[in-house]
Amino acid sequence: MVVGVHRPTQLVIDRQALRHNIQSEVSRLKAGCELFMVVKANGYGHGAAQVARVAKEAGASGFCVAILDEALELRAAGFNEPILVLGVTNPADAPLMAAQHISATVAATDWLEEAEHYLALRSAGEPLRVHLGLDTGMGRIGFRTPAELKTATDFIGDHAAALTFEGIFTHFSTADDPDDTYFKGQVAKWHELVDTLAQRPRYVHVSNSATSLWHDECNDNLVRFGAAGYGLNPSGWAIPQTPYQLEPAMSLTSELVYTKRLQAGQSVSYGATYTAQQDEWVGTVPIGYADGYERRLQGFHVLVDGHVCEIIGRVCMDQMMVRLPHDYPRGTRVTLVGQDGDQQITLQDVADYCDTIHYEVACGFTSRVPRHYIN
């Protein structure tokens, strides 16, 4: 998709906010505990390579991604730090991952067997670094019984030329919930599995952002730092207290490109779902659902000159209309996410209106919207 550099709509990414969040977390970690910054999904929409550079400067010692191509993007950008692919990859790509020093998540022994087959076909090369994923209650991927886990570790031990047991981990599904009943059950299941290991690998990790923020006693020696690094509270509003202030790194701004005086009885946008009850000023903003600004945001608001301005009529693919308190010149700034005077719109506010989570909102902004980096 083309990047809209000749349009005033842009995502503004504050590097200083990223630094603050990451450094604040690094300063809380016990000696020997590392932080891997999670930069999957284009760094939660913030820009993977750009976020990785800031994270490295702020104390991150490695990175986590979701798919192999995201890891290869970081390698191509010059990052030599450890990279863990959290999702299941194709065993046929094991030689590529080994050559690029990219660590694989493994959730089944048959994956190891197939990967070892491809690795054995090489004339030479380093072994593939693997992290065994354990399913302690997330229900997504991973080994579930001590017997399954032992079979996998035995296989790795028997094929040391091809495979290295670098890590073991799980993922907590309710670490951001004030009710920790299910969380404690997952912790117990984790110990039931990992305590059977004859030897622990280099990395033992369970903590995502939520776990490290509110259950840091579980951190072990690696934290996978995601949402909080971008200044997003993983719980939404459920647990407002955090060990340090999270500073949102993403703002979304545009400009008015057209204004008009709407007469009472006149309608706006597709379906004529909005009809003016009185004469009013309307401004057009060049952003729409093709940019990731959801069609369902009709009735929400933006900020213009410190004023809350309702989005009227349906959000179009590329444009939308807002009701203004009075006329403004073309080029007047419009804030869709961020601060304007005493008013603020957060990603959480947008998510609440859309009945979703701020992760989805941040990840949903398309590549057509340019990312502009400050500080």
Locate 228 and state its tokens.
């909080």
- Section 100-125 average pLDDT: 95
At 275 the pLDDT is 97
User: Which residues are known to be catalytic?
Assistant: 40, 270
With 90 as the cut, is the pLDDT of residue 155 above it? yes
Longest distance between any two alpha carbons in the chain, whole Å: 79
Q: Quickly state the pLDDT bin for 372 (edges 50, 70, 90).
A: very high
Beta bridge partner(s), residue 307: 304
Residue 154's pLDDT is what?
Answer: 97
Dihedral over alpha carbons 289, 292, 294, 295 (to 10 degrees) = 10
Name residue 64's beta-bridge partners.
38, 84
CA distance 255 to 373: 18
**Share of residues in the chain with pLDDT > 90 (%):** 99
Q: Has residue 137 got a pLDDT over 90?
A: yes
- Can you tell me the distance from the alpha carbon of 26 to that of 94, in angstroms, rounded to the nearest whole number? 32
pLDDT digits 0-9 by tens, 302-323: 999 999 999 999 999 999 999 9
Structural domains in the chain, CATH included, are 15-230 (3.20.20.10), 250-345 (2.40.37.10)
pLDDT in tens, 16-72: 999 999 999 999 999 999 999 999 999 999 999 999 999 999 999 999 999 999 999
Q: Count the alpha carbons within 13 Å of 276 in the hemisphere toward its beta carbon.
A: 19
Kind plus residue range of the DSSP H or E element containing 64: strand 62-65
Q: Which of 155, 162, 157, 156 is nearest to 124 (CA)?
A: 162
Mean pLDDT of 139-148: 97
The average confidence (pLDDT) of the chain is 97
Rg (CA), the chain: 24
User: Phi, psi at residue 305, to the nearest 5°?
Assistant: 55, 35
Binding residues: 140, 317
**The pLDDT value given to residue 32:** 95
pLDDT band at 94; cut points 50, 70, 90: very high
Amino acid at 211: T
Helix, strand, coil shares, percent, the chain, to 5: 35, 25, 40
82: nearest Cα among 96, 100, 70, 95: 100
- Tell me how crowded residue 121 is: count the other CB atoms within 10 A of its CB: 8
| Across 287-304, average pLDDT | 98
Q: Are 251 and 328 in contact (CB under 8 A)?
A: no
- Give the count of alpha carbons within 13 A of 178, CB side only: 6
Closest CA to 84 of 221, 100, 138: 100
- 134, exposed or middle or buried, with CB in 10 Å at 0-12, 13-18, 19+? buried
Instruction: Supply the pLDDT for residue 128.
Output: 98
pLDDT value of position 123: 82
Predicted confidence (pLDDT) at residue 124 exceeds the cutoff of 90: no
Strand partners for 167: 131, 203
What is the mean predicted confidence (pLDDT) over 162-171?
A: 98
In this prediction, residues 217-234 reach a mean pLDDT of 96
Q: What's residue 52's pLDDT?
A: 98
Q: What's the confidence (pLDDT) of residue 192?
A: 96
pLDDT score of 1: 83
